[in-house]
Structure 1
Amino acid sequence: MYKKEIEQYIDSHRQEMLDDICTLCRINSEKMPYVEGKPYGEGPFAALNAALEMAEGYGFSITNYDNYVGTADLNDKEAQLDILAHLDVVPAGEGWTVTEPFEPVEKDGKLYGRGTADDKGPAVAAMYAMRAVKELGIPLSKNVRLIMGTDEECGSSDIEHYYSVEKEAPMTFSPDGEFPVVNIEKGRLPGHFTAGWEKSEQLPRLVSFKAGVKTNVVPGKAHAVVEGVELEVLTATAAQMEQETGIHFEFGEESGKMHITAVGEGAHASLPYDGKNALTGLLSYLTRLPLAECGQTKTLKKLLGLMPHGETDGKSLGVKMGDELSGDLTLAFSMLTVNGEGLDGEFDSRCPICANEDNVLKVIRENMANIGVTLHNETMTAPHHVDGDSHFVRTLNAAYELYTGLKGGCESMGGGTYVHDLKNGVAFGAALPGTDNRMHGADEFAVIDELMVSAKIFAQVIVDLCS
């Protein structure tokens, strides 16, 4: 019902929708230092208020929840469906080639820029779905609310604030994954660990090491400073490592010390095999150098032994596992800082339904303790699972099939979304199966036709669930 009208509406508003996405994507909304009245800093505040102004301009009733979250309501009827999107982004990172991160451009049917896929593009697609239903005059008996958060990438404290004053709708989906329906989100262990040792000045030595921008991002670059190693040795080792790993190494000299940069390929930590981890690549490289034996080098070698370059399944940490419903455990070594006296590091593990604190958290803690490294986590996030045969999920799949001609179904993902702690929440869209939109990496993009069909699907879901 209303398929023809919905398709005509979205198609006729194609450029307007893209312009609105670009408006939001030009705002650098990565988390910034707290400013009074702006809990996540200037960027997320600016993005939220731009989106709310946009929604109000299209005739929706808006509410700003203390600049944590903003909402747009289609009508004033009983709550039925929430659409949970976010306007914050991960840091821009390096390695962009098509455009600058916050200068969105259209090329070859794709819209490039940070946030185009995660999650500003899908948020605007949901807003246009609501516009379509509203402006076509399709009668509804219940309300749909678009909820736009600003801290999804850094812990979702924004949505905690929202649900401290508002109730969960009977049904919720987040356009922050992929089609068809993601009804299982893996559990998560964002591990934080430290170690210390007696300082050594013996040459050759590692002066410092730094890699990673966020726990949930596979680092595309890593940096180290060494002293007492000849450039010829550094470059010869680099040539061998590059052939083995695909990691590229660059060198510079300053004050008698050599600065080394490893260049890999960033990725979302839930899909660590999609990237080339510069952190583990540089650690592997350093273990090949003739550095003096000391507490630092011994610990780093042992740490690399637990999370070796190229391994993403936790095997060496003793936690490799999987199940039929939710797939395999993944693990990404994502952040590390090293100086002469100690290290501070983080990893990100996405854990299937069969995982728990006994077979993951305690095992990792014990294996790290065996090499003198302390894991500080006391708990982990449990997996999330919604019945794939519910009326809600079947309705989502029916709309997906109607507009794509593809078979619906249920999937599991390692990425966590806003719905992880909701009773009846799933991820739904906004990328079609097989699309690698480089989420969290350089040259992030959204396929424009996929954004358009997403808006159509979302509009149909609103009609089917709220009429």
Structure 2
Amino acid sequence: MDYRKEIEGFMDAHRDEMIEDICTLCRINSEKKPYVEGKPYGEGTFEALNAALTMAEGYGFSINNYDNYVGTADLNDKERQLDILAHLDVVPAGEGWVETAPFEPVVKDGKLYGRGTADDKGPAVAALYAMRAVKELGIPLSKNVRLILGTDEECGSSDIEYYYGREKEAPMTFSPDAEFPVINIEKGRLEGHFNASFQASEAVPRLVKVEAGIKANVVPGKAKAVVEGVDLATLEGTAREVEAGTGVSFGFEGNFPVIQITAQGDGAHASTPQEGRNALTALLLYLTRLPLAQCPQMDAVGALVELFPHGDTCGKAAGIAMEDELSGSLTLAFSMLTVSSDSLEGVFDSRCPICSNEDNVLKAVKKNMAAKGLTLENETMVPPHHVDGNSHFVRTLLAVYEEYTGLKGSCESTGGGTYVHHLENGVAFGAALPGTDNHMHGADEFAVVDELLVSAKIFAQVIVELCS
């Protein structure tokens, strides 16, 4: 039986209710925080998870809380056929919000603004409403679908490791944590942690410190340094030169001889570093243009500029640029750095195509960094993930997507790893339509309300197709 008319009617009738449920979750700052007893990722994730489970239970679903790491909602008590894997944690709010405060969601011009609206609370609630539609419409199923709600996707997915240490994965899994149509290839990842030590120097003019970055998977939109012994006229003149070449601006605070420099660029997700303007790489370039005294510290800064020059988002200077036909090019984002008088610690985030491996990426960049006095700490990297695009599962997802959107379905590759990366038959599916830039991980994150609604319709139809 064709249930499209019933599904569309249900979703349209519950549109406002669904948006309000999303707002309820998005008002909670669920950024990961330090462990406290009973709350593995802090108060915010605990609050968001329990709010979502209360919501699901209120709609008649059987819920389970896995020690506040993960929560689940089951549509029925039959054999599991499909898992929908979403998350309730968010990246830090960051700065630069204009349309609304990060945790005060608001609808403007058909867009729902707020941290988590697109990544991933909005899609999670859309999946919940898909299950609600199937349940309340009384559509008969022979198999079960489970909504899995995690709380540590942004910082390593230890929550899902905890969950799958206790539960088997379903035969099919999709995560509404990317965009349509279907992402069946996820690049591998090297989150490179490195360090260097050197002899401190008191010679002036000098670099006192550098501090940049908020998360490994976020291109830094802001970076700061403190210098001593450089006059403001020189700082401003150099700033004009570097800004002209990078598009990153520089501001100054304090009084001579000690002045703080703030580089202001544009943040982006580390999987698409070319979409941002990296304030950190621009700041390092700027520092090497200042008349600072030569010392081991500045030699190390110069080495970083050589390995990770501003604008090089493909790892060419680091010696790991590569690409293949299915998954595209390797990307690299220099995302975090602290520099003191006698040491530095940094992180870069590289998303690696199917042709990558530990020999041609990890060992290669480790060797090239060592040659410049930098120690890469990593011993392993995350391999690429690939699900057959001709499988019944993927073909069904594409067919339903085409039916509800009128758009051509296809399999895609991404550098943004999702929860399904380590699952045998897991893909990313939704919840944004192609071409929608929802500022994920940036300021003024938003989800298009109509896209959330059609996503819920699509998810409901997928449940019917795969679990009947």
TM-score (norm 1): 0.99
d(CA) in 1 for partners of 2:282 and 2:117? 29
d(CA) in 1 for partners of 2:29 and 2:342? 36
Give the SS at the match of 1:210: strand
Once the two structures are superposed, residues 375-408 of structure 1 have per-residue CA deviations (whole angstroms, 9 ceiling, x without a partner) of 0000000000000000000000011000000011
Give the SS at the match of 1:317: coil
1:212 aligns with 2:206: no
d(CA) in 2 for partners of 1:140 and 1:168? 19
Mapping for residues 212-361 of structure 1, pairs under 5 Å: 212-253=213-254, 256-361=257-362
Once the two structures are superposed, residues 141-184 of structure 1 have per-residue CA deviations (whole angstroms, 9 ceiling, x without a partner) of 11000000000001100001111111100100000011000000
1:159 matched residue in structure 2: 160
TM-fit CA distance, 1:290: 0.5
Give the SS at the match of 1:251: strand
2:26 matched residue in structure 1: 25
1:43 matched residue in structure 2: 44
Check whether the contact 2:231–2:257 (CA below 8 A) recurs between aligned residues: no
State the identity as a percent: 75
TM-fit CA distance, 1:418: 0.8
d(CA) in 2 for partners of 1:266 and 1:96? 12
d(CA) in 2 for partners of 1:103 and 1:240? 39
Mapping for residues 449-464 of structure 1, pairs under 5 Å: 449-464=450-465
Mapping for residues 361-372 of structure 1, pairs under 5 Å: 361-372=362-373
Give the SS at the match of 2:443: coil
d(CA) in 2 for partners of 1:81 and 1:194? 43
TM-fit CA distance, 1:101: 0.8
Tell me which amino acid in the other structure corresponds to 1:434.
G
d(CA) in 2 for partners of 1:128 and 1:292? 62
d(CA) in 1 for partners of 2:214 and 2:324? 31
Mapping for residues 378-417 of structure 1, pairs under 5 Å: 378-417=379-418
Give the SS at the match of 1:366: helix
d(CA) in 2 for partners of 1:3 and 1:362? 52
Once the two structures are superposed, residues 70-115 of structure 1 have per-residue CA deviations (whole angstroms, 9 ceiling, x without a partner) of 0000000110000000000011111111111111111111111110
2:426 matched residue in structure 1: 425
TM-fit CA distance, 1:256: 3.9
The runs of 5 or more residues in structure 1 that have no matched partner are none
TM-fit CA distance, 1:254: 5.4
- Measured on the aligned residues, the alpha-carbon RMSD in Å equals 0.8
d(CA) in 1 for partners of 2:278 and 2:250? 13
Which 4+ residue blocks in structure 1 deviate beyond 6 angstroms?
Answer: none
Tell me which amino acid in the other structure corresponds to 2:31.
E
d(CA) in 2 for partners of 1:174 and 1:102? 23
d(CA) in 2 for partners of 1:147 and 1:186? 23
Once the two structures are superposed, residues 165-222 of structure 1 have per-residue CA deviations (whole angstroms, 9 ceiling, x without a partner) of 1110010000001100000000000000001111001010000000000100001100
1:169 matched residue in structure 2: 170
d(CA) in 1 for partners of 2:250 and 2:8? 50
TM-fit CA distance, 1:240: 1.7
Give the SS at the match of 2:431: coil
d(CA) in 1 for partners of 2:245 and 2:106? 35
Once the two structures are superposed, residues 413-437 of structure 1 have per-residue CA deviations (whole angstroms, 9 ceiling, x without a partner) of 0011110010100000001111111
Tell me which amino acid in the other structure corresponds to 2:273.
P
1:7 aligns with 2:2: no
Give the SS at the match of 1:225: strand
Tell me which amino acid in the other structure corresponds to 1:25.
C
Give the SS at the match of 1:46: helix
TM-fit CA distance, 1:243: 1.8
Stretch deviating more after TM superposition (240-249 or 22-31): 240-249
d(CA) in 2 for partners of 1:311 and 1:444? 26
Tell me which amino acid in the other structure corresponds to 2:176.
P
2:95 matched residue in structure 1: 94
Give the SS at the match of 1:191: strand
Stretch deviating more after TM superposition (384-393 or 234-243): 234-243
Tell me which amino acid in the other structure corresponds to 2:140.
P
The runs of 5 or more residues in structure 2 that have no matched partner are none
Tell me which amino acid in the other structure corresponds to 1:218.
V
Once the two structures are superposed, residues 427-455 of structure 1 have per-residue CA deviations (whole angstroms, 9 ceiling, x without a partner) of 00001111111111111111111111100
Mapping for residues 32-71 of structure 1, pairs under 5 Å: 32-71=33-72
Give the SS at the match of 1:336: strand
Check whether the contact 2:266–2:277 (CA below 8 A) recurs between aligned residues: yes
Give the SS at the match of 1:315: coil
TM-fit CA distance, 1:255: 7.8
TM-fit CA distance, 1:303: 1.2
Give the SS at the match of 1:208: strand
Check whether the contact 2:268–2:276 (CA below 8 A) recurs between aligned residues: yes
